[in-house]
Amino acid sequence: MIEMRGINKTYRVRRREAGLSNAVKSLFSRRCTEIPALRDMTFTIPDGQIVGYIGPNGAGKSTTIKILSGILRPDSGECTVNGLTPWADRRKHVSRLGVVFGQRSQLWWDVPVIDSMELLRDIYRVPEARYRENLERLTALLELSDLLKTPARMLSLGQRMRCEIAAALLHSPEVLFLDEPTIGLDAVSKLKVREFILEQNRLCGTTVILTTHDMQDVDALCSRVLLIGKGRLLLDGSTAQIRAMAGENLSTEESVADLYRRFGI
């Protein structure tokens, strides 16, 4: 169970006008603007749900994920994931957590993927039997057998993403955060990744939070959608509810764009 209650987070950004004279001026007086990234964010996600966390760029999605992963400390508010406060009990919390950041890699660049997997096994202290079992299952489902012995730098984006997802699941996490897992993938890889996420959720009951801009991901995977904008939670419901709100005969994509406009975000 994931709970967020009244979480606030503000970033300070230094700004200046364009041009050399303003650059010189900013050497003497710097103006800081406070950007509220999250305002009074509150939601609860029960075990085993796949939730789509959507919103335009800069809405606060990644900030939420970082707070939930224990990387970032909010300014105020409470948060528990399966009874633990992420930033306070970081090590215990992250040992039950799997994370995939679509735009960053966790595999070691120069060595075969299998070496990265074995390193993760040791870091998470996965017992050998369970490691073998998980690796076999992941290899079969994600079709990794040819990829494991290849250095990560030689993989295509789609191949690498499949390996990234496998790497995040070796330690049987209870909760999985996927931050834009299908970004840049071709149609076949996208379908494969989606199919796998559903399978993982069905078999292992893994709770999944998915941030994405791809509404087809949301349609295919999520039973529930949280829509956020400018740091606030705007909508909490199913994809069907979102379509119903937007009006007749619109795809999820068009409905969401319509909602963005309507909320002015």
Partner 1 sequence: MKKYLSFFKMRLMAGLQYRTAALAGLSTQFVWGGMEILLYRALWSAHPERFPMGVEALAAYIWLQQAYLTFFALWQWEGELAESVRTGVVAYELTRPADLYGMWFARSLALRLSRGLLRAAPVIALGALIPAPWGLRIRISPAAFGLFLVSSVLMLAVVCAFVMLVYALTFFLEDSRGIMMLGAPVADLLGGGIVPLPFLPAGLRKMAELSPFGAMQNVPLRIFGGDIAGAEIMRAMGLQVFWAAVMVGAGYALMRAGLRRVCVAGG
User: CB under 8 A: which stretch of 44-52, 75-83, 100-108, 235-243 binds partner 1?
Assistant: 100-108
Of 67 and 259, which has the nearer Cβ to partner 1? 67
Q: Is 108 in the site for partner 1 (CB under 8 A)?
A: yes
Residue from 16, 36, 48, 72 in contact with partner 1 (CB under 8 A): 72
Q: Is 123 in the site for partner 1 (CB under 8 A)?
A: yes
User: CB under 8 A: which stretch of 19-27, 101-109, 153-161, 250-258 binds partner 1?
Assistant: 101-109
Q: Is 82 in the site for partner 1 (CB under 8 A)?
A: no
Q: Is 110 in the site for partner 1 (CB under 8 A)?
A: yes
Q: Are 100 and 164 spatial neighbours (Cβ–Cβ below 8 Å)?
A: yes
Size of the site for partner 1 (CB under 8 A): 32
Residue from 105, 189, 212, 239 in contact with partner 1 (CB under 8 A): 105
Footprint (CB under 8 A) of partner 1, residues 181-240: none
Q: Are 100 and 177 spatial neighbours (Cβ–Cβ below 8 Å)?
A: yes
User: CB under 8 A: which stretch of 27-35, 61-69, 225-233, 243-251 binds partner 1?
Assistant: 61-69
- Report d(CA 127, CA 81) in Å as an integer: 24
- Report d(CA 28, CA 23) in Å as an integer: 9
Q: Is 53 in the site for partner 1 (CB under 8 A)?
A: no
Buried b (16+ CB within 10 A) or exposed e, 14-45: eeeeeeeeeeeeeeeeeeeeeeebbbebebeb
Question: Per-residue x/- mask for partner 1, residues 161 to 180, rule CB under 8 A?
Answer: ------------------x-
Q: Are 169 and 142 spatial neighbours (Cβ–Cβ below 8 Å)?
A: no
Q: Is 84 in the site for partner 1 (CB under 8 A)?
A: no
Of 51 and 152, which has the nearer Cβ to partner 1? 152
- Report d(CA 141, CA 120) in Å as an integer: 19
Of 111 and 204, which has the nearer Cβ to partner 1? 111
Minimum distance from residue 240 beta carbon to partner 1 (Å) = 29
Nearest to 82 by CA among 120, 44, 54: 44
User: CB under 8 A: which stretch of 14-22, 118-126, 215-223, 224-232 binds partner 1?
Assistant: 118-126
Q: Is 148 in the site for partner 1 (CB under 8 A)?
A: no
Q: Are 180 and 103 spatial neighbours (Cβ–Cβ below 8 Å)?
A: yes
Instruction: Give the 3-state secondary structure of 82-143.
Output: CCECCCCCHHHHHCCEEEEECCCCCCCCCCEHHHHHHHHHHHCCCCHHHHHHHHHHHHHHHC
- Report d(CA 60, CA 170) in Å as an integer: 28
Q: Are 202 and 175 spatial neighbours (Cβ–Cβ below 8 Å)?
A: no
Minimum distance from residue 262 beta carbon to partner 1 (Å) = 27
